[in-house]
Structure 1
């Protein structure tokens, strides 16, 4: 009811049943599930010579390696994966292989139970005693998988088991779209009360849809039956009709349904004729649904390499004549698309590189139209660019260095300059510098030696200071004469005798000089 496409695939036959739930979103969840299911179809026979469980595990591992090849061929599929839950019948034994959060249930001798364990993050928390089972459904990470088939793990860890099979027992394989809506009690009730397994499948699907169905629903139900000799291959029926139940029930009692939730799934990978798989499927009773059915029907089979093509043909059609001719036809059809893809990828990468270079060039050009005011070599400076770096590359440079010492600015303006003052244009940057110049404090430098200050009756007058014979600790480079003045409490200026040229101010009256401050750097010292 929510998904735009179906990422599930399933197959149910006389000896094999498998459900796969693909993940990876639009990129390749359907590709992963369809490829995996179609890689296992050839196991649906009774000639395993006592190694059915080993064959099932080996083929799932091979399907995993093919997914890795698929991603290597088409990087857009990176991150895709699929769950797999499969059972394979051999004589009186059912072999189980499982990975992911799809499930297998069994109804045998009146006992209904879940056989598989979900490979999820919340299930691990439950096993460690950190989460209660009743809180699993409301946990925010309930859908996080710990184990799946895909391009990440070269050798995924499978859960393998075997069970004695008895006529009349039923197995239910499903994707998590079922248990996300229906609890085990409801599933058990339907399994017990529904005699026909096809009706059982359809009832469970309808109940899930009525519950909202936030995910794809794929259900396979098989029933163990006595062997029969009157087996005849079914007529060729489109997979979509098989999912709807419009064909004879398989002789061993298998049924499957997959609910498509939207538009047709798109399968990536090499497109080959589906004759090989179609002909093999026609030799046995089966139901194929989901993305795997769509792939077979449309001919878009997710085959990755010539090796996998030959492998499928050898395993499924060794008893058929004309296999070589079919493969030769596929080779000829694949050769031209392969050559086309060889130059498409480099051309696409080259185009993306050119676009990236153009974007970076335009971005750098834009930064050079910006200005800001900041500190450079302890002085106020105007920068062009932006005050950022990309690795070792700076995006700005000094445009104009002023004669304003940063140390002479008031504390607030000093901090602003340290943090940079952005400007929209050069004119605005120069205006900021002018404002900072107006905020300068008057700075007086201590002279190199004592000097005599002349007296004045009305206003300060310059006097020439005599250099002291001894060196002065002042950082001033040379002795200088500066006018000094003092005001009395009555406000009339009186001369202030002094034996040195050090400027002074009367603290009781707070007198200051009327002269404009000048940006003189005295090593950071200021007379306040």
Structure 2
């Protein structure tokens, strides 16, 4: 059965990259995103070769089992295409690509996946990530070493542990089947979208219920507003729904839209704003590190980073506490350079400090009992002394006391 629904695909170079290494495909039954890697001269070729091989799967299938076998076999064959290409063009050695693909078979979605391009399902007002990233940081998340939020900003977030490349003719590809139903919205995207636009904003956009093409445009704008440090490729497939069924020629976008997979016109140069430092996850080139030794090495590095982070926090806390203590000590020393006139209840007393308390701690102490009885002063001056008289210095305080002595018995 031909897929009943509507779809759209778009791809954009982004604001930083000089060429587009992504490719996307939206057809009658088949939907694919491939994110190429391998530098300026290789990633676009890799994703184009993958799409060229996989697009032959865009046909009806008798069963999900047939589609799943075909998807597994074809993605593996695409790895062979990359290997053959590198033999002819050695300068492309090291190229590779992610692949995430859906074949719609009746009421089911047959899914194939390798790398960190993602497939999401929006159903019943909830967005669910269907695929699991084949990345180093995802392994850290799965093992409980870091949280998903920490993974977004981890320095090794661009390291892939599985990819369709020119070094392995039998790549490990995840394939599985899921039921789908009318009203479902399937989103396939490269990390140029998922790396800078969080799930909350993606879900809000899908919830608008706009046509797939308009929805993809809004998601792209979100990525561009966040700096778009990487190529952005989006494919949306709506199951059923109110929007017109798209039929006819498949939509091919990105590097695969050019027959030889050459670079597409570059976007105007831009830079990632310092206002979005946490959204630069996709700015570092993706690369492939399959070796177990590398994994252990980076895990140990992650432990060192965690230890250094704790030491940094402790050191920072100690510095802050020292600064606070120094400030308190300095403030206290300043108070002890001040003097005022008050009373101990009987006599006029010169106090050192200020007539306030810091909680239960007094900030003054008697400096000199003048021997001048408070009751010997006129009533008005008794009240003034009881309220305390500020002075600029010890000498000034002694001068004030001398004036008070002159007024003794004047009432």
Whole-Å separation in 2 of the counterparts to 1:249 and 1:292? 26
The secondary structure found in structure 1 opposite 2:157 is coil
**Greater than 3 Å deviation, 4+ residue runs:** 47-50
The secondary structure found in structure 1 opposite 2:202 is helix
What does residue 17 of structure 2 align with? 3
Whole-Å separation in 2 of the counterparts to 1:213 and 1:249? 30
Is 2:56 the partner of 1:42?
A: yes
Shift of 1:195: 2.0
The secondary structure found in structure 2 opposite 1:26 is coil
What does residue 246 of structure 2 align with? 251
Q: 2:82 aligns with which of 32, 47, 67?
A: 67
Shift of 1:27: 2.5
What does residue 220 of structure 1 align with? 235
Q: Say if 2:51 and 2:256, in contact at 8 Å, map to a contact too.
A: yes
Mapping of residues 48-127 of structure 1, within 5 Å: 48-50=62-64, 51-127=66-142
Q: Deviations over 1:291-335 (max 9, x none)?
A: 00022798x9xxxxxxxxxxxxxxxxxxxxxxxxxxxxxxxxxxx
Whole-Å separation in 2 of the counterparts to 1:115 and 1:49? 21
Q: 1:138 aligns with which of 143, 153, 178?
A: 153
Q: Say if 1:13 and 1:250, in contact at 8 Å, map to a contact too.
A: no
Q: Say if 1:250 and 1:286, in contact at 8 Å, map to a contact too.
A: no
What does residue 433 of structure 1 align with? none
Q: 1:168 aligns with which of 175, 179, 183?
A: 183
Q: Say if 2:38 and 2:96, in contact at 8 Å, map to a contact too.
A: yes
Q: Say if 1:105 and 1:172, in contact at 8 Å, map to a contact too.
A: yes
Computing the radius of gyration over CA atoms, which structure comes out larger, 1 or 2? 1
**RMSD (Å) for aligned C-alpha atoms:** 2.1
Q: Deviations over 1:467-520 (max 9, x none)?
A: xxxxxxxxxxxxxxxxxxxxxxxxxxxxxxxxxxxxxxxxxxxxxxxxxxxxxx
The secondary structure found in structure 1 opposite 2:55 is helix
Question: Closer, same or farther in 2 for the Cα pair 1:128/1:39, shift >3 Å?
Answer: same
The secondary structure found in structure 2 opposite 1:85 is strand
What does residue 20 of structure 1 align with? 34
Q: 2:46 aligns with which of 6, 23, 32?
A: 32
Whole-Å separation in 1 of the counterparts to 2:133 and 2:20? 21
Question: Closer, same or farther in 2 for the Cα pair 1:103/1:23, shift >3 Å?
Answer: same
Whole-Å separation in 1 of the counterparts to 2:261 and 2:228? 26
What does residue 196 of structure 1 align with? 211
Whole-Å separation in 2 of the counterparts to 1:250 and 1:66? 33
Mapping of residues 111-510 of structure 1, within 5 Å: 111-225=126-240, 251=246, 284-295=248-259
Q: Say if 2:49 and 2:78, in contact at 8 Å, map to a contact too.
A: yes
Q: Say if 2:44 and 2:261, in contact at 8 Å, map to a contact too.
A: no
Q: How many residues matched?
A: 248
Q: Say if 2:116 and 2:134, in contact at 8 Å, map to a contact too.
A: yes
The secondary structure found in structure 1 opposite 2:120 is strand
Q: Say if 1:120 and 1:142, in contact at 8 Å, map to a contact too.
A: yes
Question: Closer, same or farther in 2 for the Cα pair 1:296/1:287, shift >3 Å?
Answer: farther
Q: Deviations over 1:126-173 (max 9, x none)?
A: 111111222112211100000000112221111111111212211000
Q: Say if 2:45 and 2:261, in contact at 8 Å, map to a contact too.
A: no
Question: Closer, same or farther in 2 for the Cα pair 1:297/1:64, shift >3 Å?
Answer: closer
TM-score (norm 2): 0.58
Question: Closer, same or farther in 2 for the Cα pair 1:8/1:119, shift >3 Å?
Answer: same
Q: Say if 1:171 and 1:222, in contact at 8 Å, map to a contact too.
A: yes
Shift of 1:114: 0.5
Q: Say if 2:116 and 2:160, in contact at 8 Å, map to a contact too.
A: yes
Task: Give ranges in structure 2 of 5+ residues lacking alignment.
Answer: 1-14, 265-411
Whole-Å separation in 2 of the counterparts to 1:250 and 1:290? 23
Looking at both structures, which has the greater relative contact order when contacts are Cα pairs under 8 Å and sequence separation is at least 6?
A: 2
What does residue 471 of structure 1 align with? none
Task: Give ranges in structure 1 of 5+ residues lacking alignment.
Answer: 227-247, 253-283, 301-528
Greater share of residues in strand? 2
TM-score (norm 1): 0.45
Question: Closer, same or farther in 2 for the Cα pair 1:80/1:216, shift >3 Å?
Answer: same
Whole-Å separation in 1 of the counterparts to 2:113 and 2:157? 19
The secondary structure found in structure 2 opposite 1:25 is coil
